[in-house]
Amino acid sequence: MGNQYKQLTLGERYQIEAWNSLSISAREIGKMLKRGNKSISIELLRCPIGSYCAEQAHRHAFQKRKFAKKHTKCSQKHKDIIKPLLEIGWSPEQIAGRMKEESIENTISCSTIYNLTKREYWKTLLPRKGKVYKQRKGTEAGAKLIPNRIDISQRPSIVDENAEFGHWEGDTVYGQNGYLVTMVERVSKLLVTCKVRSKSKKAVTRGINRMMKPFKGLCKTITFDNGGEFAGHAKIAKHLNCDIYFAKPYHSWQRGLNENTNGLLRRFFPKGMAIGELAAKEVKQAEFLINSRPRKALNFLSPSEFLNGKRVSVIVTI
């Protein structure tokens, strides 16, 4: 493999200027600088013949590089694939990983896609960055509002191992005049959600029992946060025949998957949005898109594909 070409430095150009003034040939200058004689010949042409100026040549080279068209591995076909996937919530890592999984020709890396978003001004399509953590006061939060609360410390260790299906995390997402109740399965990352009019214990309990009905035999445990809306956990446990645990107050990372998934929902339904005005099909459409996103933890399968045991090609072949 040949040596990688490097731009001439200003110091080297000063040497070229001095040797050129002594009528030393480009070949000899190249030998002394350990550069190719062709590179030196081209360099001498940056200025009028016989009047090479190091500083003038250096400015010329800098301007040429500045306005040169940058090389990129991204073709227009890549852009036509990437932008729609960014628009439906996929991250650059998920796009790059899925292209590799589907054996797409001319696959590109995650960093190349990030650079593309900068050049094309697509940064607003990227997933939002997390907020700076703010220290909370108090130690119990809403725990005292939940009768017969069972702490997460008593939850079976197998839940943390993510070795079996059936362990869920639950929460609510608020908006104007309405809320979304979210349930996420830890192994498959599957999201199930529904809209409720209020954050009351009765409304949330009814909503969870209704939307989890298809998974009644596939629900072993649920881990909630300490919101008072989950005070009806005993009825949920009885209806679904499962055990329910509660994370420690202000320890949201103990339900990290659910928190992350709620962040994905927020891309469809930002804070302040009138969730109460949403049609059920809009909520289901967002749920469908999130469950169709490839996940790195699932080898870039989507939750739906993981559960079905079959990958579906979703990227148009380049």
CATH label of the domain that carries residue 239: 3.30.420.10
What pLDDT, in 10s, does the model give residues 215-228?
Answer: 999 999 999 999 99
What average pLDDT score do residues 188-204 get?
95
Whether 220 is covered by a domain: the verdict is: yes
Whether 20 is covered by a domain: the verdict is: yes
Total number of domains in the chain: 3
- Interior angle at CA 55, CA 50 and CA 57, nearest 5: 60
**Do 120 and 228 share a domain, yes or no?**
no
Q: Which of 67, 90, 115 is the last residue of a domain?
A: 67
Whether 91 is covered by a domain: the verdict is: yes
**Do 161 and 187 share a domain, yes or no?**
yes
**Do 19 and 116 share a domain, yes or no?**
no
Whether 233 is covered by a domain: the verdict is: yes
**Do 109 and 196 share a domain, yes or no?**
no
What pLDDT, in 10s, does the model give residues 122-180?
Answer: 888 886 554 544 555 544 555 667 899 999 999 999 999 999 999 999 999 998 889 99
**Do 58 and 164 share a domain, yes or no?**
no
What pLDDT, in 10s, does the model give residues 266-283?
Answer: 999 998 899 989 999 999
DSSP string, 115-162: HHHHHTT-GGGSPPPPPPP-PPP-S-TTGGGSTT--BGGGS-THHHHT
Whether 45 is covered by a domain: the verdict is: yes
Q: Smallest Cα–Cα separation from 175: which of 96, 242, 266, 92?
A: 266
**Do 155 and 261 share a domain, yes or no?**
yes
Instruction: Report pTM.
Output: 0.65
**What pLDDT, on a 0 to 100 scale, did the predictor assign at position 133?**
47
Whether 307 is covered by a domain: the verdict is: no
Whether 292 is covered by a domain: the verdict is: no
**What pLDDT, on a 0 to 100 scale, did the predictor assign at position 140?**
52
> Which structural domain range is residue 119 located in?
76-125
